[in-house]
Amino acid sequence: MTVARPGSNELQPPASGHDIELHNVTLRFPRPDGKGTLPVYENFTLDIERGSFTVLLGPSGCGKSTLLNLIDGLLTPTSADSVKVLGRDVRTDPDVTRHTAYVFQSARLLKWKTLRGNVEFGLKGLGVQPRERWDELMKKYFGIVGLTDFTKYYPHQVSGGMQQRAAIVRAWVNEPQILLMDEPFSHLDEITAAELRRELITLWSRDEQRRTVVFVTHDISEAVQLGSRIIMLTPRPAEICFEQIVDLPWPRTDADERSFEIEKRLRLVFAERAGVKA
Amino acid sequence: MTLLRAMGPLRRPGAGVAGRSRLSGMLRLGLGLVPITVLVFLYQQLAVSKSRPRIFPQVGDVWDAFYEILIGHGELGSSYDQIMVTSLRIVSAFAISFVIGIVIGVAAGRNKLVFSFVENLVWVFMAVPSVVWVYIMIVGLGLNPVVPPLAVAATVMPQFIVLVAEGAKSVPDDLGEMARSYKTSTWQRFTELFLPYLVPYIIAASRTSFATAVKIMLVAEVIGTPSGIGFEVSYWDGKLFMGPVIAWGITMLLMGLLVDNFIFSPIERRVSGWKSKPIDAAETMGAVI
C-alpha cells in the first residue's frame, strides 16, 4: 500500500482552494425512543480553505464533533452533494482521509502501549512508509511537544497534559494536511490548556507548509485565541449563525485589546443567536 | 487461595512501594496461615478424642497417606499414574472451555444477536450441576473416558463465556473510533487493541475456570471412571479409610495451587507488566506542566 505523503504532488490544493468542502450535508440520527429521526444537519454547507485555522464554536450537543466525524469518514451523512477532503469525496474515496488526523477530547491512548507505542500505532495504521522514517518523525514531534524523555512511559505514568501531548504527536507525526481537533484541551486544567494552546499555535504557524486545522470548542476565548476564522453554530439542526475572520497575529492574549473586543462581540452574538432554541 | 486470586486482578493497597509491599506480603502469608493452623489443631483434638483412626485419622495418619502418594505407592497402581490421568482430564476440560469460551464469549460480547442467542443457553448450562452432566453423558456415551472432561467442560464453560463476553462488551467505543480514524486494518485493531484489552478478562476467566475444573473433576471421576484421583477417593471411601481420602484431596489442592502460581501468575504478570510501572513521571512532571 503506497500512501502519498503530504507535500507530494498529489496533494496540491484542490482547484477551489478549499481543503474541505461540505455541500448540502444532511444527517439525521434515529431518535433514542425509536420514534422518527433527530436532524443534526439539514442542507449544511461549509467550505474550509487551505491553511486556515478554522474554529467551530457552538453550544454543547449541537453536532460540532459530528461534523469532524463526517469529515474524517467515521460517519456517513444521510445525504449530501459532497463531503470532500482535498477535492475527493470521502464517501467514494475513503483513502483520502489518510491525510487527516484527529485529536479527540480525551487522549484515547492505548494504556498497554508506551507513548511511543501509541504513536507507532497511528503510523502503522496510516501505512506510513518507509518505516525508517518513523524514528526521525517521532523524534521531531516528541521533541517539539517536550516529551523526548517520556516516550518509554505508559500513559498512566504521565499527567493528563502529557497524554494529550502524546495524542497530538500521534496526529501530527505523519504531517497530515488536515488536523481535526475536538475540544482537545477541555479536559485539562487551565494552565496546562493555555500552554498547549500556545504550543499548538507555534507548531502550526512555523510549519513551512500551512496545514489546515478544524478546531471544535465551546470556549469563546479559546476560539479567539486560536482561530483565523471563527464559525458559530446554532443548536440542532446546526446552522452557521455567525462568522468572524480574526486577522490578528499569534500568540494572542486576553490582554490584547483587539482580541478582547472580538471576544466581547462574540459573547453577545453567542448569547443572542446560539442559545437554545425554543 | 486459588479462587481468591482468581477473582480478578485485585490491587493491594500500597502495591508499588517495594519495601512496604514485601513486608505486608509476609504479614499476609502469616495471617493466612493462622486459621489453617487453628483448623488443623482443632481437627487433631477431635481425631484424638474419637480414637477411630479409619474414620477420623489423626494428622500423622494423613501425612503417612500423603507420603505414600508422594513416593508413588498405591494399592491401585502408581499414584503418579493417577495424578497424570486426572491432570490430563483437567487440562483437556480446560482446553475445551478455553477455546469455545473465547470464541462464543467474544462473539456474544460483540454481537447482540449472538448474545441473545446464547444467553439462555449459558444460564441453562450454569444451572445444571456437574453431577447431572456426568449421569446424562454416561447414559449417552457409556462409561467412556471422555465423560469426565466433557462434563467438567460443560460445567466450567458458561462462566468462561460470561467473563469473556463482559470483557468483549466493554471494549471502549472511543478507542475503536480512534483506531478507525487512524485507518488501522481489522487485523491491527484485533491484535493491538481488542486482544490486549481482553487479555485480563481471559486470564481471570482461565483462573476461575481452572480452579472450578479441579474441584469438579474429582466429583466426575468418583461417579464416572475406573481411574484417576476420583477413583482413588471412591476406592478408599468404600473401604472406610479417610486418611488417603484427605491426602488425595490435599494433593488436588496442591495441583491447583501449583498451576495458579507457576503458570497463571507469571502469565498475568507478563501481560499486565505495564500496570506495575511506577507512577513517578507524573509526580515529577506535575510541577513542570
Q: How many CA within 13 A on the CB side of residue A201?
A: 20
Nearest chain B residue to A105 by CA distance is B174
pLDDT in tens, B169-226: 888 888 998 999 998 998 999 899 998 999 989 998 999 899 889 888 888 888 878 8
pLDDT in tens, A112-130: 999 999 999 999 988 888 8
As for how many domains chain B has, the answer is 1
Range of the domain at A73: 16-273
CA–CA separation, A274 vs A231, rounded Å? 11
Range of the domain at B225: 2-8+54-272
Decide which of A17 and A126 is more confident: A126
Residue A30 lies inside a defined structural domain of this protein: yes
Residue A198 lies inside a defined structural domain of this protein: yes
pLDDT in tens, A173-186: 888 888 999 998 88
Residue A21 lies inside a defined structural domain of this protein: yes
Flag if A157 and B177 touch (Cβ within 8 Å).
no
Residue B186 lies inside a defined structural domain of this protein: yes
Long-range CB pairs of A168-171, under 8 A, 24+ apart, other chains included: A168/A103, A168/A196, A168/A200, A169/A115, A169/A119, A169/A138, A169/A141, A169/A142, A169/A145, A170/A101, A170/A109, A170/A118, A170/A119, A170/A121, A170/A122, A170/B182, A171/A101, A171/A102, A171/A103, A171/A122
User: Which residues of B lie inside 8 Å of A (Cβ-Cβ)?
Assistant: 174-175, 177-185, 188, 192-193, 196-197, 272, 274-275, 277-282, 285-286, 289
| CATH value at residue A157 | 3.40.50.300
Residue A9 lies inside a defined structural domain of this protein: no
Query: In 3D, which of B39, B28, B50, B163 has the Cα closest to residue B109?
Result: B163
pLDDT at A216: 93
Residue A5 lies inside a defined structural domain of this protein: no
Percent of chain A at pLDDT above 90?
A: 12
Q: Which residue has the cell 459530528?
A: A66
B158: cis peptide before it, omega within 30°? no
Helix (H, G, I), strand (E, B) or coil at A15: coil
Residue B160 lies inside a defined structural domain of this protein: yes
Candidates B171, B183, B193, B199: best to mutate against A (most CBs of A within 10 A) is B183
> What mean pLDDT is predicted for residues A200-220?
85
pLDDT at B175: 92
Query: In 3D, which of A233, A224, A223 has the Cα closest to residue A258?
Result: A224
Residue B111 lies inside a defined structural domain of this protein: yes
pLDDT in tens, B51-84: 888 888 888 888 998 998 888 887 888 888 889 9
pLDDT at B5: 42
pLDDT in tens, A240-250: 888 888 888 87
| CATH value at residue B194 | 1.10.3720.10
Residue B73 lies inside a defined structural domain of this protein: yes
pLDDT at B10: 42
Residue A278 lies inside a defined structural domain of this protein: no
pLDDT at B16: 45
Q: How many CB atoms lie within 10 A of CB A204?
A: 20
> What mean pLDDT is predicted for residues A136-153?
87
pLDDT at B8: 41
Alpha carbon B236 to chain centroid, angstroms: 26
Residue A1 lies inside a defined structural domain of this protein: no
Residue A2 lies inside a defined structural domain of this protein: no
Of A98, A156, A170, the CB nearest to B183: A98
As for how many domains chain A has, the answer is 1
